[in-house]
Amino acid sequence: MKLIMIRNKIGYLVLARANWGISFMSEELLRVAKEVTAKDKPEEALAAVLKEYIQRRIDKCEQKIKKFESKYSVGIKEFYEKLGTDFSLS
């Protein structure tokens, strides 16, 4: 994801190129991101923080899937294939 950052009086205007979502970030938040990631450029620091956050969310989802598969002795793919036929939706 390409980030474009424009500095203004209240902080940074961040444009995410993937969907051109717009948000404002405080300079303090970007300073902390730079400090935590040891990146010099704020857009690199923010990208690193976002990647780490997304990876943690993925890891949590994978843990939930493994717990589900263990509990019900069925793989998640197999569960979705049987959903509505062998497993009631109501």
DSSP character at residue 20: T
pLDDT tens, residue by residue, 36-52? 999 998 878 888 888 89
The C-alpha angle 2, 8, 11, rounded to 5 degrees, equals 75
Share of the chain above pLDDT 90, in %: 16
Contact 37, 22 (CB under 8 A): no
pLDDT tens, residue by residue, 48-78? 888 898 999 999 999 998 998 898 888 888 8
Return the pLDDT at 20. Answer: 46
- The reply to whether the predicted model has a pTM over 0.85 is no
